[in-house]
Every structure is written in structure tokens, then in C-alpha cells.
Structure 1
Amino acid sequence: MLPKTNMRKKILILLLFPLLFGSCQYFPKQVPSEQDLLQKELKAINWNEVDEFPSVVSCDSITDREQKKQCFFEYLTALIQQKLNIDTLGVLYPKLDTINVKVTVLPNATMEFETQGIDSLSYNHAAIDSIIKTRLVDFPDIHPALKRGIPVKTQFVLPVILNVQ
């Protein structure tokens, strides 16, 4: 009888061993709160960069992120130059060869423009802004920048060369 009891004990121990030491679900776990998880995720997000830059239809086929960004900036700069060269900006201010235009692309795919760095003593800043705001309308569809799949506002400054022939 002794060997059978000993054998039963060994079998019982072998069956209970995985249950006692192998199941972590029976031990209390430290579960982080929603606020802790949210704060951790918010800290992991780089708020200074967008996941996708603004784009236009002609640049959508480009898959490389930097090339797509460059395509958008070149397209927008050329379009702004084209629209401003139609006007009298070059005639009114012949010494003004380059202006910096601050472009804001809003989440609803609209754009706003503002001149930057123009010497207000030499040039009438209000008149230049007025010309820019009246000329820079009717742009083709712009896709806003995306951050985690959500359209966001982006701003950048483009140097625009005037009187390009």
C-alpha cells in the first residue's frame, strides 16, 4: 500500500504544481488607471510634427514622405508666384524681389496667407497684405495635414520670388 499512496501523492503534486505556480491570473495584478494610460500615450505623441503633411492631388501619388512634402511646397510656391505676378506688386515695389508668405492650412482645408518680414518703413505693409489677400484666392483642393488620422492646422513660411518671367 505504501507505494500506491506515495505514487498518488506524486501525481497529485504534479497536477497541482502548474495550477499553483503557473497561473498568474490568481495573483493580484497592478492595472494602470485610464488617466495613467492616457498620460503615457499623450507623452509618447510628438506634438511638433504631423503624421502627414498637407497635400494636393498632383502630389498624392508620391509615397515618400519627404518627396511628397517637397512636391507640395514647390507646387504651392509656384502657384503663389503665378498669382502674385499677375498683379501690380512688382510695379508698385520694384525693389521687392522676394516676400515671405506665412501659409496656414486649416483643418477644414481652407488656407490663410500673411506676409512676414517686410520692412514697414520701406514698404506699405497693409497695401501688400491687401494685394496678397485679394490675389491668393481660388486655390485647388488642399488636403489638410493629419495627426493620428485627424485633420489639423499647420503653418509654414514660403519664400516667394516676385517678377519671375
Structure 2
Amino acid sequence: MKPASSFKSYFFNNCLLVFFRRGLFVIVLLVISSCNFETKKISSEEVLELESKTLNWKEVDEYPAFEDCQNETELLAARECFEREVAENIYAYLSKQQPVVTESIDDTLYLYLEINSAGRPEIDSVKIDSTLNNQLPELRMWLDQSIDSLPKIYPASKRGVPVSTVFKMPIVIKAE
């Protein structure tokens, strides 16, 4: 019986002869020499940086929500529910005001509403044209008050982390 070490050398030598005969020796050497595995430890900061570059930060996983909208599971339906609730609250507040106008008004303004990561709503900006501003000088104050009177808002989230979002909302102003 041959010792184990001589068996290994016998097996290795026979394999080399087969590879030489078939012209595969060069390929085997390349494969054996290229199987040099190297691992590199990546810090959590590097992983976060790489992931933040690949994430689409313009989209959220969950839109901000009122209590009534939290049951919406589809992203588009949740957004529509949120925007509808905001619009209804703003229109309800504005309809309680009794403005006195000298001319009839039929205009649209654009409200940029920010919901910060704590769920606090705030007007980012509002575009009110000069005619509307002259007829309703209290309009900006009423918009601020209507936003302050909104019910509790749960913020949007991205990967489970609360994030700020901004919505552009058209508001139609009609007065006779």
C-alpha cells in the first residue's frame, strides 16, 4: 500500500500528463492562479454613501398621511387621499372667511406646502398675483391659518426614516 503523500503526488502527476496531452495545462494554471480571492472590509459609512448615491431621493416609500388616509396601501391612492384632505381643509377654512371684494375674482394660485420630517406643515412658498393680492390682502394670513389648523399629519418616509416633502397645490379662488 502506498503512503498518502505518494498517492497525492501520483494523482497530481497523472493529472498533469492528461492536461499536457490535451493542451489544457495553460488554462488550468491560469484558473489556479486567478482564483486569488480577496475580501475587503467595508465600513458602514461607505455602505451608506454607496446606497445614498443609488437611492432616488425624489420619491418616497410612504406619503404623508392624515389619520383617515393611513389605511391606503397603494402609493398613488395615499398621495391622492392626502392632497384631497389638505385641499378640503384649506377650502373649508377659506369659505368661513367673509372677504369684501370690489371686483369678481376667478383665479388660481399655487401653494407649495412642506411637510417636514416631524409631520409639521408649513407654507414653503405661495405665488399670489398682484390683482389677487390687491383684492384679498389677508389671503396669505388666511392660508397660513388654514395650514396651522390641519389635523395631525404623519410624515412621509423613505426606507422607514421620516423625511420632508413638498407638494405643489393649485388653489382656485372665486369671489363675487
**TM-score for both structures, normalised by structure 1:** 0.73
How many residue pairs match? The answer is: 151
Correspondence 1:56 to 2:66:
yes
Could you list the per-position Cα deviations for residues 67-123 of structure 1 after superposition, in whole angstroms to 9, with x for gaps in the alignment? 11111111111111111111134x437314432222111112111125633222552
Does residue 72 of structure 1 match 2:70? no
Indicate the residue corresponding to 1:29 in structure 2: 38
Q: Distance in 2 between matches of 1:43 and 1:114?
A: 26
* Matched position secondary structure for 1:83: helix
Asked if the contact 1:114–1:129 (Cα under 8 Å) also holds between the matched residues in 2, the reply is no
Equivalent-residue separation in structure 1 for 2:131 and 2:104 (angstroms): 16
**Aligned-pair Cα RMSD in Å:** 3.2
- Runs of 5+ in structure 2 lacking a partner? 13-31
Structure 1 residue aligned with 2:163: 152
- Percent identity over the alignment is 26
The residue type equivalent to 1:131 in the other structure is W
Normalising to structure 2: TM-score of the pair?
0.69
Instruction: Please state how far the C-alpha of 1:46 moved relative to its aligned partner.
Output: 1.0
Task: Note if 1:45 corresponds to 2:55.
Answer: yes
Equivalent in 86, 99, 104 of residue 109 of structure 2: 99
Within 1, Cα distance between the matches of 2:52 and 2:146?
A: 40
Corresponding residue of 1:9:
7
CA contact (8 A) 2:107 2:132 kept: no
Tell me, yes or no, if the aligned pair for 2:105 and 2:173 is still in contact at 8 Å.
Answer: no
